[in-house]
Amino acid sequence: MNNSQTHGAYADDYDALKKRLRHYPQITIVSTEKEPPEKYIIEYKLFGYGYNDKGKIEVRRRHRIQIELPFGYPHFPPTVKPLTATYHPDVDEQAVRIADQWQRNQSLADLVIYIADMIRGEIYSSDGTFNQEAARFYGEKEGKLPLAELKYHMDPDKAEKKRSESSFGIVFKRLVLTMGLLATLAGAGVYYHDMMYIRGAENSVKDGRKLMDQRQFSEALEGAERALIKLDRIFMLQLDREEQASRLASFIESTEIREGLAGNIAHNGIYYSFAKADALTEIDSLRTTATSMIATGDLRGALAELDSAILLAEENELETELSELKGLAAETRLKRALGAANERYNEGKWQSAAKYYDEVVTILETDRRVLPENTISTLSKIKKLRLLARVNSLRSEAAAAEQQKKYQQAADRNRSIVVLISRSGFSSDKALSSMQAEARRENARLREQAQVNSGSDYLVENYKDIFTKHYPGLDRDGIRSPKVRYMGRSGGNYVFIMSCIELVKRKATEYRLYYQYDPGNSQWNLYTEKRL
């Protein structure tokens, strides 16, 4: 198709559309682009479902759409886009579904009428829709559709004359001219009578919403129903009556009213019982406060808020929120315990660090179902840090005990290190394996030192008995100044050299003995070997 053919189609359909819309006063061409037009904005003054400013579904009186004719028209269908928020199964934010209609009938005028029937609910799809939620909604409303009548005037000139005469100014003028002042006042009285009911209907919806905010749903419903009944008393303002009646019907049939009467209220778009909705609101507040506290580092305060929220969730059986809150609380406890553990580890406060790492491990194992997987994966690393803290704590205790010459106690601490690493599952770790080997050496050294000290103490305490046993001529009361020195090991025995002084008549004589201890049978005896 060449440009002239397309241009001709544009012009012919524009003329046809203008002629057709003369019979449909509820549909008007608001604006066009170019001559002949390639783009139209069409307004429909028909009751149909749409969204209000808050995204709620309501009956709306005015709807606008944009129709754009492409090159190759009419073989290529127009592009149709809603300019007002329309709630319909075959409409989304960017397009109106017209492909099937255009295949059947390539008429712009018929398409505009077809869209009017869509808006008022006469035509809608139930399968393959743009908006499946709207399809379900329209299916439930099937017995109450269409919402409005698309009026056709056989003689548009007479219809236009009748419409112009229906305005209040002309009605008032004719009343003045034909019926006199009394009739005029009566007509004005009827008008103001009607306006009173119109305003009453408007206010009933506003008041109803306030009552709903106070959870007085029965009162809200009763007020709307009374206002709807009163609209039947309107004589003149029929179009306004229809609009208000539709608004009231939408309000009366709204999900908020139905759920409210059943004792439910919406929270984040989902309906719950009043008690659960209140609990959810309080939980949201507590969670928000807790999150702020976490951001500022007040983890203790955050946990107190979260514990209160968890209690509310448990009492109201809010399983989803309970799981989320437990996860957040577990992460917060984990953060608090891990921070304390790392701080003490870096300060060398090993025992306290190990205690907090214990707490971290417990949280990771107990709350693994509500914690993120990447957090759970740190468990092995935390266990290793806990082990290192315990090992370093035992090493510190061993060093302190050795400084106080409590060699057996120091040896026991090193033996505990060996056992701890062996049972930890980290014995193959290079650093820990090295610590374990060192602890074994220290254990052996300190056990020997403990045995030497114990032997020395024994010999000092019993030197008189030992010397008098091997030197029968010594005066027991005259010997003094015992000295003991460890010489080394011989055949597994501990060998000591001991001495004392016998003081007789101011004459001092030194005596010496080599004595050995056999740990196998815990026996002491003389050492007679030549060498050690």
Domain final position from 353, 377, 401: 377
Let me know: does 384 contact 413? Beta carbons within 8 Å: no
pLDDT digits (tens, 9 = 90+) for 1-47: 556 666 778 888 999 999 989 989 999 998 888 888 999 999 999 88
Domain boundary among 354, 377, 400: 377
Question: For residues 375 and 332, what is the distance between their CA atoms, to the nearest angstrom?
Answer: 12
**What tokens appear for 440 in the block?**
């074994």
Residue 30: CA count within 13 A, CB half-sphere: 13
Asked if 60 contacts 49 with a C-beta cutoff of 8 angstroms, the reply is yes
Q: Are residues 205 and 255 in the same domain?
A: yes
**104 CB-contact burial (10 Å; exposed 0-12 / middle 13-18 / buried 19+):** exposed
Mapping DSSP to helix (H, G, I), strand (E, B) and coil, where does residue 273 land? strand
Selection from 517, 352, 367 nearest residue 450 by Cα: 517
Domain identity same for 21 and 121:
yes
Give a yes or no: residue 353 inside a domain: yes
71-77 contacts, C-beta under 8 A, 24 or more apart? 71/6, 72/1, 72/6, 73/6, 73/9, 73/10, 74/9, 74/13, 74/106, 74/108, 75/1, 75/106, 77/102, 77/106
Measured CA to CA, the distance from residue 231 to residue 240 in angstroms comes to 10
Residues 431 and 304 in one domain: no
Identify whether residues 24 and 143 lie together within a single domain.
yes
> 182, exposed or middle or buried, with CB in 10 Å at 0-12, 13-18, 19+?
exposed
Asked if residue 400 is part of any domain, the answer here is yes
> Which residue range is the domain that position 205 belongs to?
166-262
Q: Is 56 found in the same domain as 15?
A: yes
Tell me, yes or no, whether 147 and 201 share the same domain: no
Q: What is the DSSP letter of 228?
A: H
End-to-end CA distance of the chain: 121
Last-in-domain residue among 262, 292, 319: 262
Per-residue pLDDT of the chain (532 residues; tens, 9 = 90+): 556 666 778 888 999 999 989 989 999 998 888 888 999 999 999 889 998 878 888 888 889 999 999 988 888 899 999 999 999 999 998 899 998 889 888 889 999 999 999 999 999 988 888 899 999 999 988 888 888 888 887 766 655 555 444 444 444 444 444 344 444 445 556 666 677 767 777 777 788 888 888 888 888 888 888 877 777 767 666 667 777 777 778 888 888 888 999 999 888 888 999 999 999 999 999 999 999 999 999 999 999 999 999 999 999 999 999 999 999 999 999 999 999 999 999 999 999 999 999 999 999 999 999 898 999 999 999 999 999 999 999 999 999 999 999 999 999 999 999 999 999 999 899 999 999 999 999 999 999 999 999 999 999 999 999 999 999 989 898 899 999 999 999 988 999 999 999 988 888 999 999 999 999 899 999 998 755 5
Residues contacting residue 225 through CB under 8 Å, at least 6 positions apart: 252
Percent of the chain that is helix, strand, coil (3-state, to 5): 60, 15, 25
Measured CA to CA, the distance from residue 317 to residue 311 in angstroms comes to: 10
Q: Please name which of 119, 102, 100, 120 lies closest in space to residue 111, comparing C-alpha atoms.
A: 102
Q: Which two tokens stand for residue 169?
A: 């100014």
pLDDT tens for each residue of 50-84: 988 788 888 888 899 999 999 888 888 999 999 99
Same domain, 280 and 355: yes
* Domain match, 148 and 26 both: yes
- Is 160 part of a structural domain of the chain? no
Distance from C-alpha of 54 to C-alpha of 256, rounded to nearest angstrom: 14
Q: What's the confidence (pLDDT) of residue 182?
A: 41
Contacts (Cβ under 8 Å, ≥6 apart) of 134: 49, 87, 88, 89, 91, 124
Q: Is residue 384 part of a domain?
A: no
Beta bridge partners of 50: 58, 86
CA 241-245-248 angle, 5° bins: 140
For 160-168, which contacts have Cβ atoms below 8 Å and span 24 or more sequence positions? 160/25, 163/25, 168/236
One domain for residues 491 and 430: no
Average pLDDT over the chain, rounded to an integer: 86
Q: Are residues 283 and 342 in the same domain?
A: yes
Whether residue 370 is contained in a domain is answered as: yes
406 with 515, same domain: the answer is no
- Assigned domain for 382 exists: no
Tell me how far apart the alpha carbons of residues 176 and 161 are, in angstroms, rounded to a whole number.
Answer: 19
**Could you say which DSSP state residue 478 is in?**
G
Residues 321 and 369 in one domain: yes
CATH code assigned at 281 = 1.25.40
- Name the domain count of the chain: 5
Long-range contacts (CB closer than 8 Å, 24 or more residues apart) made by 171-174: 171/236
pTM above 0.75, yes or no: no
Residue 532 to residue 529: CA distance in whole angstroms: 7
Q: Please check whether residue 360 lies inside any domain of the structure.
A: yes
Q: What is the CATH number of the domain that holds 71?
A: 3.10.110.10
Please return the burial class of 63, using the count of CB atoms within 10 Å of its CB with bins 0-12, 13-18 and 19+: buried
Residue 531, in any domain of the structure: no
Cβ neighbours for 240, distance < 8 A, ≥ 6 positions apart: 194, 198, 234
Cis peptide before 519 (omega within 30 of 0): no
